[in-house]
Structure 1
């Protein structure tokens, strides 16, 4: 039963994502330590969902429009806060960062994303 439900959810996934984390890396030749974005997961099936929210200001000014971005992905993946998440869906690629705690369900998890600016 669980496998059928998970397959149904994953059949909606139209994107692929790569998750990168900021880690110390030692150069094998110079032994100097630097920081780099290291892939944690690559080519993971996923789905981006967008929701636009509008609100008016109390002063009667122009409406403010905000967009919420949510990532649906496999529940067993542990994606640290502040990771860079590169998603390609419908031929477009965008970079995001995970914000907040994921909502983990039996057959998927939902992560709220924000536009990537820098590693945390």
Structure 2
């Protein structure tokens, strides 16, 4: 039953996710270990969800906040600090995942490009 439900949920996934982790890599020449960004998973089916929240304070301009939530297989491990590329945009995992039998939900932040 769970597999049937999970299959139904995963049919809703229209996006593809690439997961990048910072991992220690030893240089064979210098023998020094440095952290490098390594692609650990590519083209993982997923779904992005956006929620806009308008907040106001008395006497101030209304502020719009957007929450970005990733829906992905519960078997996919996304470590803290991992970068994700979804639909050409870069994100970073900002919250602990809510893991359910059929999927997991992770709050993301849009990664700001350094100018």
| TM-score, normalised via structure 1 length | 0.87
The runs of at least 4 consecutive aligned structure 1 residues that moved more than 4 Å come to: none
| TM-score, normalised via structure 2 length | 0.90
1:50 corresponds to 2:46: no
Shift of 1:117: 4.6
SS in 2 for 1:100: coil
Quote the Cα distance in structure 1 between the aligned partners of 2:28 and 2:13.
39
Farther-moved stretch of structure 1 (66-75 vs 34-43): 34-43
1:105 corresponds to 2:100: yes
Quote the Cα distance in structure 2 between the aligned partners of 1:29 and 1:43.
33
Quote the Cα distance in structure 1 between the aligned partners of 2:76 and 2:42.
11
Q: Say how many residue pairs are matched.
A: 113
When the two chains are superposed, the root-mean-square deviation of aligned CA atoms in Å is 1.5
Flag structure 2 segments of 5+ consecutive residues without an equivalent: none
| The structure with more strand, counted as a fraction of residues | 1
Quote the Cα distance in structure 1 between the aligned partners of 2:96 and 2:54.
24
Flag structure 1 segments of 5+ consecutive residues without an equivalent: none
1:8 corresponds to 2:8: yes
